[in-house]
Chains A and B, each alone.
Chain A
Amino acid sequence: MKNRDLFSSLFWLTFGILFASGGLQHGLMEPEGVPGRGALPFIAGVFAIILSLLVLIPALKRKDKGHSEGHKVFFPERNGLKRLLIAIGLLAFYGFFLKTLGYPLTTFLFLVGALKLIEPQEWKTTAIFSLLTTTISFAIFKVLHVNLPIGILGF
C-alpha cells in the first residue's frame, strides 16, 4: 500500500494546493467583512492539504514489505489493464460519436465492441444481442417521445 498512498496523497496535495490558491485569488473576504467566494474553497483546500500530508508522511516512513506481506497486486490478471482500457475507450467512443452517428448506430457499434473485445462472444450471439438491444431500446425511446440524437443516417 506504500506506493498507492504515496501517489494518491501527492495527487490530493496538489489538488488541495490548487483549490486553496484559487480560493485566495477569488477573495477570502468581501468588503463588508463577510466571507467571500474564495473562503470555503480556501478552507476546504487547506484541510485537503493537511489530510493528504497525514496520508503522505506515514507512507514515507513505512517500509515497503514487498510481495511477502500485505502487498496487493494492482491487476489480478495480466490482461486486466487491457480490458479496462478497452472499456474506457468504448465508453469514450460512445460519447464522441453519439451526436454524429445517432443513437441506433452508435449503440449497435458500442455493443458489438463490448461483446467482441472485452470478453469475446461468438459473432452470432454478438450480432443478435446487439441488434435486439438496439432495436428494443430505440423503440422504447420512440414510444416515450424521448429526443434522441439524429446522426448521419437521419434517425
Chain B
Amino acid sequence: MEFMNHISLAFSIAFDPMNLLFCFVGVFIGTFIGVLPGLGPAASISLLLPVTFSLAPVQAIIMLAGIYYGAYYGGSTTSILMNVPGEAAAIVTCLDGYEMAKKGRAGPALGIAAMGSFIGATISLILMIFLAPLLAEVALKFGPPEYVGLIFFGMVMVTYLSKGSMVKALLTASVGILLGCIGMDIVTGRERFTLGIDTIAGGISIIPMVMGLFGISEVFLNLEKSIKAAGVLTEKVKNILPTKQDWKDSAGPIVRGSFLGFLLGLIPGGGGFLSSFASYAMEKRVAKHPARFGTGDIRGVAGPETANNAGAQSAFIPLLTMGIPCNVVMAVFIGALMLHGVTIGPMLILEDPELFWGVIGSMYIGNAMLLILNLPLIGMWIKLLKVPYPLLFPLIFLFCLIGAYFVGNNVLDIYTMILFGVIGYLFKKFDYEAAPLILAFVLAPMLEIAFRQSMIISRGSPLIFLSRPISATFVICAFGLLVSPGFLKLLGMIRPGDFVQRSED
C-alpha cells in the first residue's frame, strides 16, 4: 500500500505541466551536452544552476537531474558515430558501437543503446522506490560518529576506484578537504585561510570550481592541438529498431547491466562511469565467444549503456537519503540543493516528500522523453555533430563565463573558474584526478561538523569511532581498502581502477 502511495505521489508531481516542461528542458539540454564532446554533465549543471534560481526547488532539481541522465543518453551517440565519447561513461561504448557503425549497423547500435538505457533506468527506478525509504530509515539511526565513518569510507572508496595512482587520488582528496576548510569555521564563526578576502569568507564556491576543473580544462586540452574536423559517419542512420536476433543477444546483457549498474551506482565513486566498465567486463567474461567483443558485438553496447543509466539513477539514493554524494555530479547537486534552501539527508523524505518523490517520478517520465528524443530525432543530433569545434569552443567558454558570474554576480568567481581551469588542465597533464578533490571539498564541512560533535560526545576520545558498530564497520572497511592494493599486488591481482586505466589505453 505504501509503495502505491509513493508511486501515486511521485507521478502526481511529475505530471504537473510545469514540472513536465522543466523535465523536457533538462533532458533536451542533457542530450545536447552529451552529444557535444568537451562539456560533461558536472560542468553543464554548474553553469545552468543560476538559470534555476527563479524556479521552485522541485522544478530546478527535476531539470538539473534531467541534464544529468540525459547526458548519458547523448554520450552514446558520439561514441557510436564518431568514436569520441560524449562523456566518460560512454568510453566503453566506442569499442563495439563504432565498429557496428563502420559495418553499417549504426541504427541498431543507437537503438539498443537508447532502449537498453530506458530499461536499465526503469528497473533502477523501481528498485529505488523500494530501497530509498528503507535506507532513509537506517540513516535516521546514524549519529555523528556513524557519519564520520561513512564519509571516511566514501572518500577512501572514491580514491580506490579512481583510474590512476591511489596515492595521487588520496592526495587530491586531502587537497579537497583543505580547500573545503577555507572560509568561516561553522562552529566558531571565525574565518580561516581567507587571506583577508571578504568574498571567500563563505568558502570557495563549488560552481566556478567545477566549471573550471571539468569544463574549461577540457577546452584547454583540446586547444593545445590544431583543431581538425572529426570524422562523423554521415551516411543516413537507418533501421534504428533492433532485429529479433539483436534483442535475443542483448536481453541478458540488459538484465545483468540493470542490476549491476544499480548496485554500483550506490557505491561512493560509482555511478555511470564504473557501471559501464564493469558491465563490459562482465559480459565479456560470461560470453561464449569473448573474442567477438571489440569487433562490433551488440552485447558490448547493450550491457554498458544499460548499466550506466541504471547507475546514474541509483546514485541519487545515497544523495537523497543520506546526503552523501557518490560522484562529482552528485556533489554539484548538493550545492544546487543548498542554493535552493533544501536540507538533504534522511529527513528529506519526511520533510519534503514532494521534492523527493517528485524527482523520482520525473526521472521515469524523463527517460521516456529521452527514448523519443534519441530515436526518431536522432538526425537532429547528428547534424549537431557537424558544428565545427572552432565555433563551438568560444561558446563553451562564454557559457562558463556567464555561468560563473551569475552564481553570485561576482567577477571573482570568473577568476576562480580560470584558476581551477588551469589546475584541472595541469591535473590531466600530471595524471591527477579531479573527482576526489571535488567530493572531498563538498564532504569536508559535513566531516568537520560530525567529527567535532563526535569528539564532544566522547569527551575527546577518538575511540568512539571504533566503539560503535556501524562507524567501526565503515572505518575498518576503509582501512581494508587502503591496504588492499598492497595485498592485491602481492597476490598478483589488480584493483578496478587498473582495469579502467587499461581499457582506456
Measured CB to CB, the residues of A under 8 A from B are 1, 4-5, 7-8, 12, 15-16, 19, 22, 26, 32-35, 37-41, 44-45, 47-48, 51-52, 54-55, 74-77, 80-81, 83-84, 87-88, 90-92, 94-96, 98-99, 107, 110-111, 114-115, 118-119, 121, 125, 129, 133, 137, 144, 146-147
Residues on B with beta carbons closer than 8 Å to the beta carbon of A12? 171, 175
Bound CA–CA A125/B394 (angstroms)? 13
Instruction: Evaluate whether A15 and B451 lie within 8 angstroms (CB atoms) in the complex, with A91-B418, A91-B421 already known.
Output: no
Q: Please, how many angstroms separate the alpha-carbon atoms of A5 and B168 in the complex? A: 10
- Distance A80 CA – B220 CA, assembled complex (angstroms): 10
Q: Nearest Cβ distance between residue B50 and chain A, in whole angstroms?
A: 8
B452 touches which of A5, A35, A98 (Cβ 8 Å): A35
Cβ-closest chain B residue relative to A130: B394
Whether B177 contacts A92 by the Cβ 8 Å rule is no
Interface centre among A7, A51, A118, A133 (most CB of B within 10 A): A51
Q: Are B223 and A37 in contact (CB under 8 A)?
A: no
List of A residues within 8 angstroms of B486 by Cβ: none
- Least Cβ–Cβ distance between A64 and chain B, in angstroms: 15
Listed A/B pairs (30) with beta-carbon separation below 8 Å: A8-B430, A15-B175, A19-B181, A22-B192, A37-B185, A37-B188, A40-B448, A40-B451, A41-B192, A44-B181, A45-B174, A48-B171, A51-B167, A54-B167, A55-B165, A77-B225, A83-B223, A83-B224, A84-B224, A88-B220, A88-B421, A91-B421, A94-B401, A95-B418, A107-B398, A111-B398, A115-B390, A118-B393, A133-B394, A133-B395
For A121, the chain B residues whose CB sits under 8 A away are: 390-391
* The one of B390, B397, B447 that contacts A87, using a Cβ cutoff of 8 Å: B397
Interface residues in B320-379 (C-beta closer than 8 Å to A): none
Q: How far is the CB of B404 from chain A (nearest CB, A)?
A: 9
Q: Is the CB of A98 within 8 A of B411?
A: yes
Residue of B nearest to A86 (CB): B223
Q: Please tell me if B432 contacts chain A, counting CB pairs below 8 Å.
A: yes
Partner of B225, one of A35, A55, A74, A80: A80
Instruction: Decide: B192 and A26 in contact? CB cutoff 8 A.
Output: yes
Of B216, B401, B425, the most chain A CB neighbours within 10 A belong to B401
Q: Is the interface of A mostly helix, strand, loop or mixed?
A: helix
Complex CA gap A15/B227 in Å reads: 36
Question: What's the interface size class on B, roughly?
Answer: 35 or more
Alpha-carbon distance A88/B426, docked complex (angstroms): 14
Q: Which residues of A contact B397 (CB under 8 A)?
A: 87, 90-91, 110, 114
Tell me what chain B mostly uses at the interface: helix, strand, loop, or mixed. helix
Answer whether A114 and B393 are a contact pair too, CB < 8 Å, given A19-B178, A77-B224.
Answer: yes
Query: Distance in Å from the Cβ of A36 to the closest Cβ of chain B?
Result: 8
Q: How far is the CA of A34 from the CA of B456 in the complex (A)?
A: 6
Q: Contact at A52–B171, with CB atoms within 8 Å?
A: yes
A95 to B404, CA, bound (A): 10
The reply to whether B391 and A74 contact each other, CB–CB distance below 8 Å, is no
In the complex, the answer to whether B171 meets A51 with C-beta atoms within 8 Å is: yes
Give per-residue flags for B400-425: 1 if the beta carbon is below 8 A from chain A beta carbons, else 0.
01100110010100110110011001
How far apart are A100's CB and chain B's nearest CB, in angstroms? 10
Question: Would you give the shortest CB distance from A45 to chain B, in whole angstroms?
Answer: 6
Complex contacts, B483 vs chain A, CB 8 Å: none
Residue of B nearest to A51 (CB): B171
On whether the beta carbons of A94 and B414 are closer than 8 Å, the reply is: yes
Q: Interface digits, B36-49 against A, CB 8 Å rule (1 contact, 0 not)?
A: 00000000000000
| CB of B109 within 8 Å of the partner chain | no
B224 CB contact (under 8 Å) in A47, A75, A114, A115: A75
A88 touches B398 (CB 8 A): no
Closest to B422 in A: A88
* Contact (A92, B415) CB under 8 Å given A15-B175, A34-B452, A37-B187: yes
Q: Nearest chain-B residue to A98 (Cβ)?
A: B411
Contacting residues of chain B (150-174) with chain A, CB-CB under 8 angstroms: 165, 167-168, 170-171, 174
Are B444 and A40 closer than 8 Å at their CB atoms? yes
Residues of B within 8 A of A81 (CB): 224
Establish whether residues B181 and A41, one from each chain, have CB atoms under 8 Å apart when the complex forms: yes
B455, CB-defined interface residue at 8 Å:
yes
Asked if residues B418 and A55 are in contact (CB atoms below 8 Å), the reply is: no
Q: Are B223 and A146 in contact (CB under 8 A)?
A: no
What are the 8 tightest A-B residue pairs by CB atom distance, in nearest-first order? A95-B414, A80-B224, A114-B394, A37-B185, A44-B177, A119-B390, A51-B171, A48-B174
When A15-B175, A41-B192 are in contact, do A51 and B224 touch as well, CB less than 8 Å?
no
- Shortest Cβ distance from A92 into B: residue: B418
Q: B225 contacts which chain A residues (CB < 8 A)?
A: 76-77, 80
Enumerate chain B residues within 8 angstroms of A33, measured Cβ to Cβ.
Answer: 459-460
**A5 and B430 in contact, given A54-B167, A55-B168, A115-B390 (Cβ under 8 angstroms):** yes
Contacts A33-B459, A114-B393 known; 5 new A-B pairs at CB < 8 A: A1-B431, A34-B455, A40-B444, A87-B219, A95-B415
Of the candidates B174, B190, B422, B429, the one whose C-beta lies within 8 Å of that of A16 is B174
The answer for the CA separation of A51 and B224 in the assembled complex, in Å, is 30
Contact of A47 among B170, B417, B452, B459 (CB under 8 A): B170
Q: Chain B residues with Cβ under 8 A from A84's Cβ? A: 220, 223-224, 425
The distance from the CB of B204 to the nearest CB of chain A, in whole angstroms, is 14
A8-B430, A83-B223 given as contacts; is B192 within 8 A of A34 (CB)?
no
In the complex, whether B226 has a CB less than 8 A from a CB of chain A is yes
- Within 8 Å of chain A (Cβ to Cβ): is B193? yes
- With A22-B192, A22-B193 known to touch, is A40 a contact of B220 (CB < 8 Å)? no
Contact residues in A for B224 (Cβ distance below 8 Å): 75-77, 80-81, 83-84
Q: Is the CB of A15 within 8 A of B185?
A: no
Asked whether A77 and B226 contact (CB < 8 A) given A26-B192, A35-B452, A51-B171, the answer is yes
Shortest Cβ gap from B218 to chain A (Å): 12
